[in-house]
Amino acid sequence: MTERTTLDAYLTAWAGADATRGAVSETIHALMGACTTIADIVGHGALEGAMGAATEATNAGGDSQKALDLRTHDIVVAALKDTPVARIGSEEADDEVVFDDARPLVVATDPLDGSSNIETNVSIGTLFGILPNTGEASFLQPGSKQLAAGFVVYGPATVLVLTVGAGTQVFTLERDSGDYVLTDADVAIARETKEYAINASNQRHWDAAVQGYVMDCLAGVEGPREKNFNMRWVGSLVADVFRILVRGGVYLYPGDDRSGYAQGRLRLVYECNPIAFVCEQAGGAATTGTERVLDVIPASLHVRSPLVAGSAEEVERVTQYYAEPPRRSPLFAKRGLFLA
């Protein structure tokens, strides 16, 4: 890009004199301060100590917590303590962190996404969604109420993917200055794709809709899709979705028949909703398979949800598989789902 636009300049122009936008802007700045600290810690790798060491603690979803999970939660909470944020809903805490309910905003966050990849030097990240404060039910608002959302990827470069409801922007951390610099404005996800991301090790547990969709993709040019697909899976939600923002694709983490996974593995409020907002603002889409993600009313802060997100055309196709699950073995079948 020829013109250097920092996150500060972008948010100042967006917020103007609007009080709510100003509060959102201040909150994003505080979050990015926390993420810069986390990026520095992650960048030290093993020199920082046993970041990936398991602890005896588990998070609200029952997942074991790594040392860096707990550390990043504390960093985010400390960064937001003196901001317009009234409450924080974090994956790493059973209960909400409550500061002051007179403040206008709440933040839902997964402070460290992809923690199973810490020790393997694979990209990990932070997710967040900013909502208006409505009191004790603040985190039970649908994702469509988000005022801003995004995620940070800690990889070879540290990048922020952000939407304030005015498109999706990508900022890259300039390490010398500490600024986040706009490097990709108004990102547009390709409508069509030949790439999908799913954890294929769970195939035997999938329902008929997902089985049919994936098998039709695997059938390649000889199958009903009549084109060859690539499958990619990093295992860090933020990394898989960032790849889709860059080159198109669709991400799937469906519910399955494993105990406790009927609604998938991801959490609606602080994982699926931020991803859905980012994708929609980039011209993509996000669904549970049967419902737009941003329309779902959360039953609780830590409720799980299936997620299919990315290229709009491919997301729509997956919803059609759910509406009419295949009644034939899809592998190598020339006749597609929508043919009699």
Binding region for substrate = 113-116, 199, 251-253
Residue 257 falls in the annotated catalytic set: no
C-alpha distances in angstroms, 212 versus 195, 285, 315?
16, 20, 14
DSSP letters of 157-194? SEEEEEESSS-EEEEEEETTTTEEEEEE-S----SS-S
Annotated binding-site residue numbers: 91, 110, 112-116, 199, 251-253, 271
- 173 forms beta bridges with 180
Q: Are 199 and 219 in contact (CB under 8 A)?
A: no
Instruction: Measure CA of the first residue to CA of the last residue in the chain; give whole Å.
Output: 50
User: Active-site residue among 26, 92, 216, 240?
Assistant: 92
Residue 131 falls in the annotated catalytic set: no
| CB neighbour class for 37 (10 Å; exposed up to 12, middle 13-18, buried from 19) | middle
Q: Are 224 and 331 in contact (CB under 8 A)?
A: no
Q: Are 103 and 247 in contact (CB under 8 A)?
A: no
User: Active-site residue among 7, 105, 112, 307?
Assistant: 112
The beta strands (E) that lie in the chain are given as 54-58, 64-66, 85-90, 97-98, 105-113, 124-132, 148-154, 158-163, 168-174, 179-184, 195-197, 230-231, 250-253, 285-287, 307-310
User: Active-site residue among 26, 69, 179, 256?
Assistant: 69
Annotated binding-site residue numbers for Mg(2+): 91, 110, 112-113, 271
User: Active-site residue among 26, 113, 195, 240?
Assistant: 113
User: Active-site residue among 7, 11, 80, 110?
Assistant: 110
User: Active-site residue among 216, 256, 271, 314?
Assistant: 271
CB atoms within 10 A of CB 203: 13
User: Active-site residue among 91, 240, 256, 280?
Assistant: 91
Amino acid at 158: T
User: Active-site residue among 8, 40, 63, 174?
Assistant: 63
Residue 56 falls in the annotated catalytic set: no
| Element counts in the chain: helices (H) and strands (E) | 7, 15
Rounded distance, CA 292 to CA 289, Å? 8
Rounded distance, CA 243 to CA 230, Å? 13
Residue 110 falls in the annotated catalytic set: yes
List residues with catalytic annotation: 63, 69, 91-92, 110, 112-113, 271
